[in-house]
Chain A
Amino acid sequence: GIQVEQSPPDLILQEGANSTLRCNFSDSVNNLQWFHQNPWGQLINLFYIPSGTKQNGRLSATTVATERYSLLYISSSQTTDSGVYFCAAEGRETSGSRLTFGEGTQLTVNP
């Protein structure tokens, strides 16, 4: 099955800084999503982005499917951005319902 690798595993920022999180995947994808798990354990869907670029407020994401990676940009970070960011992908050969998650990037934003 598809392999999903995220980097960096840990990231510490000062409030106001910008950051880029990376997700590499081992095969062509038809389904790629980014999630944020807050310190209380809740998982929030940030983007469904198998290709192209999307923006939502201070967050944006770009997936370059031909080169098998996706990037999540966080601008002007806030303490509420802290938590774990997960990338999840599904390869083209499957049905569209079997996401494989990376192990996440643990982000800490200090005031």
Chain B
Amino acid sequence: DAGITQSPRHKVTETGTPVTLRCHQTENHRYMYWYRQDPGHGLRLIHYSYGVKDTDKGEVSDGYSVSRSKTEDFLLTLESATSSQTSVYFCAISRDKGYQPQHFGDGTRLSIL
């Protein structure tokens, strides 16, 4: 199994509060991704990173920011959480190019009340 750890695994918070989710990998993979999974929408890409300090937007990036200061860590921040951001968030990694298999962490269940 790919060494991917997401934290926290579960979080409940209130509308308007900032939230940061962490993805940590031990595989030294170059690419890291954040997805959200919602009923009826499958998985949708939020942001991805192709190296330290190199990030790009995905399909549903509004309301989210990311940072990658080290190869092993990719942070997803909701600056001011809204109820529409209640979802399950998955981190994924791939080795050295986009055309490589993606491997997923176990997900973070985020509820915003």
Contacts and interface: CB of A to CB of B under 8 A. Distances in A.
A98 B47 CA distance: 9
B42 A31 contact: no
Contact of B104 (A30, A42, A90, A97): A42
Interface residues of A, number: 25
B50 interface: yes
B43 interface: yes
A103 B42 CA distance: 5
Interface in A64-111: 86, 88, 90, 95-104
Contacts of A45: 101-104
Nearest to A31: B99
Contacts of A88: 43, 102
Interface of A: 1, 30-31, 33, 35, 41-45, 48, 50, 86, 88, 90, 95-104
